[in-house]
A and B are shown apart, each in its own frame.
Chain A
Amino acid sequence: MIKYILQRLFSGLVTVFFVATFTFFAMHAVPGDPLMRGKAVSPEVRANLEALYGLDKPIAVQYGKFLLNMVKGDFGISFTQQNRSVNDIIRDSFPISATLGLLAIIFAAVGGVTWGAIAAINRNRLSDRVIMFAVILLVSVPTFVFGAMGQLAVSELNQKFGIDFLPIAGWGTLSHMLLPALVLGLGTMAFLARLMRSSMLEVVTQDYIRTAKAKGLPTLRIFVRHQLRNAILPVITFLGPSIAAITTGGFVAEVIFAIPGLGRYFVQAVQQLDYTVIMGLTVFLRSVSCFYGYSCRYSLRFY
């Protein structure tokens, strides 16, 4: 068991290493550098800055230095934000992104399993058709559309009844989190619903369901213990990557709802070629998603 965990850990490290390497060189292949943004600087100042950040060294040396610091857990200081280290940014913003993502994934998982199961039970009936239509809609329509529509709907409600049901943007209390989490989770929920439905329909035809019937078990017991339990396995497997994707990929929702999560910094950093922030966030987010993926697969063993 320990051997298994160590193997996974190692393969995770290898993955992160390759991601870091690729990002590093891809980033440096983009024309320009962080110092070109903002005001024009004189050649002397520029030379000093380059020396300060180590940008005057050959790229191989920069890469080696970056790797060395990464191993020490130090991602350096942001080019664009005064005196803020990448570690500070992560420490301040990641909990926010993670909370939002976790809420979204709970919503997606519960909703997906429920809707998928309902659709499968009512296969080819009206309710199945309606659910499957909604699923296709939710999968295809991008987050920002639902974000804007959600805000519109909530503000209409707030106006009509004169009470604040939910805040439309910002961050702080649980009520701030509900709408963005819902919007962020919708696509994943729809995907999981589809996965759940097909998995349920496959399990229903299995021989062991017939065995359970032949044993005279009540319908509910067969459904919960024999059918649902087996049908949910592919959903759980997929949950790992989608937890990773949602907790690290809620940029759009974060921007729409003005949430101070990691996503905003990431987008900003890419636009301004903020080398240290790009590298730090990439490596960090990839590590997180590797961890989620592996621990999810690992937890299946105890199912």
Chain B
Amino acid sequence: MSENVLEVKDLKVEFDTYGGVVQAVRGVHFQVQKGKTLAIVGESGCGKSVSIQSILGLIPTPPGRITSGSAKLNGQELMGLPLKELNKVRGNNVGVIFQDPMSSLNPTMTIGEQISETLRYHKDVSRKEGRRRAIELLGKVQISEAASRVDSYPFQFSGGMRQRVMIAMALACEPELLIADEPTTALDVTIQSQILNLLKDLQNQSHMALILITHDLGVVARMADTVSVMYAGQVVEHGTVDDIFYRSTHPYTSGLRAALPTRERNRQKLIPIDGAPPDLFSPPKGCGYFARCPSAMNICENRNPPEFVNSTSHYGRCWLAQKNSMTPMPTEGVL
């Protein structure tokens, strides 16, 4: 699997808080290939953003702490890299787009300056050249009249435009990997769609790998090649889009889909997942989903299931996915 742009293994992240130690990420692994899109889905607080940010050293330490794990970008280990080396990777090999474009841009710097400063530090271009490239990039993310907008400040831009600026900034150095941390959550639906199209187009042009963090399964179906479903700090199921949507083996994934409106279920009530995620101060001994799972068994309470491989591309952390498991998957009311 040498084509893996990013390969993360056994990542564990903890946070010290007044209430104790929160085990936010508990042994996560995933990888993404060149030109492909990996979607990481899961509800708030399941560790999606933390896993990604910890790879680039973007979580505040303290209180955060990476207790184990490896993250290889094109074979180069990122964990434990000194800041100076890490800075050569950030923004250069890996671009990041954050969730809230309203607060992610510096209010006292012009758009152009913010885009070109990335170029100036990584590609050693002159101020003038940086400005020219910034205009070019703004055009690329479809901001009209880029040449006159380049000297605007963020407050003069709308939310969608700012997210385009963020994308332009992340793409400035033509990274091999783009991480989009809920890029459309703060935007309205039409703009959402435009931004996703833009990301897809840009990916097709440059063959970069894309990691898309989201909790919107619609976005996943549209954008992703592979999907990791996260729950309570672990990847509970991983597979191709088809694996996840049609051959899901984990009750949590099924539960997420049941909570989604479809054309057939248009007038019916959606089926929510009852309860709340477990307390990660003291994670449960068994499966994290046990308390909410409709098909929970005795074994689930005390033993956390390992990853059961279904096919080369598909695995799930559920006792039901074990090869000779007696109980069939519950399917009623799901599809």
Interface residues of A (CB under 8 A from B): 206-208, 210-219, 221, 225-226, 229-230, 233, 303
Q: Is the CB of B58 within 8 A of A229?
A: no
User: How far in angstroms is the closest Cβ of chain B from A50?
Assistant: 60
Could you list 18 further interchain pairs (A-B, Cβ under 8 angstroms) beyond the known A207-B98, A211-B104, A221-B121?
A207-B104, A210-B58, A211-B105, A211-B106, A211-B169, A213-B90, A214-B90, A215-B90, A215-B118, A216-B86, A216-B90, A216-B91, A216-B121, A217-B91, A217-B118, A230-B106, A230-B108, A233-B108
Whether A208 contacts B96 by the Cβ 8 Å rule is: no
Nearest-neighbour CB distance to chain B for A34, whole angstroms, equals 53
19 A-B contact pairs sorted by A residue (CB < 8 Å) = A207-B103, A208-B103, A208-B106, A208-B107, A210-B58, A210-B98, A211-B104, A211-B106, A213-B57, A215-B121, A216-B121, A216-B122, A217-B117, A217-B118, A219-B83, A229-B108, A230-B106, A230-B108, A303-B108
A14 and B104 alpha carbons, distance in the complex (Å): 41
Count of B interface residues, CB-CB < 8 Å: 28
Complex CA gap A214/B118 in Å reads 10
Residue of B nearest to A230 (CB): B108
Q: Which residues of B contact A215 (CB under 8 A)?
A: 90-91, 117-118, 121, 169
User: Which residues of B are interface residues toward A (Cβ below 8 A)?
Assistant: 56-58, 83, 86-92, 95-96, 98, 100, 103-109, 117-118, 121-122, 166, 169
B156 shortest CB reach to chain A, Å: 14
Given contacts A207-B98, A207-B100, A221-B121, contact A214 B109 (CB under 8 A): no
Q: A216-B122, A230-B108 are in contact. Are A206 and B103 (CB under 8 A)?
A: yes
Known: A207-B103, A221-B121. A214 touches B96 (CB 8 A): yes
* Interfacial chain B residues near A213, Cβ < 8 Å: 57-58, 90
Closest to A227 in B: B106
**Given B87, B89, B98, B121, which contacts A211 in the complex, CB threshold below 8 Å?**
B98
Residues of B within 8 A of A208 (CB): 103-107
Interface centre among A212, A218, A221, A230 (most CB of B within 10 A): A212
Residue from A206, A212, A216 within 8 A of B92 (CB atoms) = A216
Q: How far is the CB of B202 from chain A (nearest CB, A)?
A: 18
Closest 8 CB pairs of A and B: A216-B90, A216-B91, A215-B91, A214-B96, A207-B103, A216-B87, A208-B106, A207-B104
